Amino acid sequence: MRFTVIILLLTLFSLNKLCESNSSCKAWLVQSIPTDMPHLSQVPGVLSTGDVLRWLAANSTRRLDVIAQYWQLLASPDDPRTGDYGYTREQMQEFGAHQGAAVYQALDDAADRNVSIRLLSHSGIYPTFNLEPSKLASGRPNVKNVTLLLKDWWGSGIVHAKVWISDNRDVYIGSANNDWKSLTQVKEVGIYLAGCHGIAKKVEVYFNNLWKLASLNSSAYTKTVMDQQWQVERKVPCWSHFIKPKERCKSPLPRYVKTRHVSGYPILSDPYMFEASTQTPGSNYSTKLPQVNYLSFAPPELSFGSYQSDEQAWIDTIKSVGARETVRINTMDWLGQSQYTDQTIYWSSLSSAISEVVFSKNATVKILVAYWAHFINGTDEYLKYLHYTNTLCFSSKYNKCAGKVEIKYYMVPGFNKTGSALQNGTSTGNVYPDFTRVNHGKYVVSNVRAHIGTSNLVWDYFYTTAGVSFGTYNTAIVSQLREIFDADWNSPYAVPIQELESESIFLLSNR
């Protein structure tokens, strides 16, 4: 009897600890909204990206891991090599450049507190490259800084993920770069998970895989093969499933998925998902009931356990839409092919998924694509190709199709007036710094599932580029992400593709 009571007490104690752990997990959606957008409706309860990144650094007590494409938290209006050049201090203040400086200062303070910090990024962008993380690491044994060139492993690609992990507990995943402009001059979307130890540990495994990759000699671990899935010859890690089983090497990564070889990369019929009781303080629909979540990663060779590739997660989210319901897609870039490979790869994965739900589920698919100063040639043609689904839907007397595709371009005011203010001592007429005034978020949300990521909708971002996504069936997050999309969709900044004047396309292509 006494033994039974002890066991019961231990069980109750364990359950209480589990409930405490689960109940402490909270999630907020996070946005950056560019200045000078007075006609955009604000969604209540959504946090600011600048605040979240600063909190993550300021509240770190033991460890902080950061994955970034590049660093430019500190503005450079005095450097003629940058897109900030020539703007006055007053203008930089109006642009919100001080928010980037505050995030950098919080990182600097964390380093001074002897927090163990690991910074992993691409080699950076001209002209500062990785100056800021190098400066943070200089003279501090507690700060490690590495760069990773994915081109050495896949023939093209970059570290494109934007992830912060604090104290194995708090996580940011989203579209925001470590750039002051991403906080106040670029529209970003992400998610902030606080007190979520289990999720943080899972994301950290991916971080450790990238960290390990940075220390390896790529020439000893890569092969050039004929990729039967995409019908091109390309470089891949020697443990890739694009290589025949007998010719593969053993993966040197700490954690890695092992599944049988199929044509192309294995699609997981039952990808790993986990239940978590996640409160959403920023939403009116918050619940303490456990709900299903998942993580997905790119490239596929960096997946681990039974985690799905990022491409599969996007497709599965599109296909999760209910009959006659709506799925909403937001991206900066859309291209039905590769962008950076030597041989061009045709890529119809997402387009096919969209057409399938239009036909089979009579779903409405709304797609919002950024239209800005660095718009990709060919985007318009691929979107019109996708839009042709509506014609096919009614093309035959045998069709019982009532779905549709709706596509709009998102045009942040001032997108065509970006760049340095001065060039060779002469005013350029630009109003905002370069690489700003763009809708940069990457997410898809159906009526039941939300997917928030870092990948543009181009082949390269799923097969040669490092990316991380968080997905969930949490009803509060799904509902609030739909609100964010609808605020953009219904704003005057969103223009249907068929209504966009050909003159503006001509002017943009000749900038």
Q: Sorting pLDDT into bands at 50, 70 and 90, what band is 20?
A: very low
Q: Sorting pLDDT into bands at 50, 70 and 90, what band is 258?
A: low
Q: What does the pLDDT read at residue 123?
A: 85
Q: Sorting pLDDT into bands at 50, 70 and 90, what band is 18?
A: very low
The whole-angstrom separation of Cα 83 and Cα 78 is 10
Task: Say if residue 62's pLDDT is above 70.
Answer: yes
Q: What does the pLDDT read at residue 397?
A: 87
Convert the pLDDT of each residue in 276-330 to its tens digit: 889 999 988 777 788 899 999 999 999 877 788 999 999 999 999 999 999 999 9
Q: What mean pLDDT value characterizes the chain? A: 90
Q: What does the pLDDT read at residue 500?
A: 64
Q: What does the pLDDT read at residue 16?
A: 36
Q: What does the pLDDT read at residue 262?
A: 38
Q: What does the pLDDT read at residue 503?
A: 42
Task: Say if residue 388's pLDDT is above 90.
Answer: yes
Convert the pLDDT of each residue in 285-297 to its tens digit: 777 788 899 999 9
Task: Say if residue 421's pLDDT is above 50.
Answer: yes
Q: What is the mean pLDDT of residues 43-71?
A: 97
pTM: 0.91
Q: What does the pLDDT read at residue 307?
A: 86
Q: What is the mean pLDDT of residues 423-427?
A: 95
Q: What does the pLDDT read at residue 23?
A: 53
Alpha helices in 378-451 (DSSP H): 379-387, 389-393
Return the domain boundaries, the chain. 19-217+225-509
Strands (E) located in 210-278? 222-227, 232-237, 274-276
Q: What is the mean pLDDT of residues 332-347?
A: 96
Q: What does the pLDDT read at residue 286?
A: 76
The whole-angstrom separation of Cα 395 and Cα 416 is 39
Q: Which residues, in sequence order, are bridge partners of residue 325?
A: none
Residues 6+ apart with CB under 8 A from 293: 199, 273, 274, 275, 276, 278, 470, 471, 472, 473, 474
Q: What is the mean pLDDT of residues 191-215?
A: 96
**CATH number of the structural domain 19-217+225-509:** 3.30.870.10
Task: Say if residue 22's pLDDT is above 70.
Answer: no
Cβ contact 103:73 at 8 Å: yes
Task: Say if residue 505's pLDDT is above 70.
Answer: no
Q: What does the pLDDT read at residue 266?
A: 58
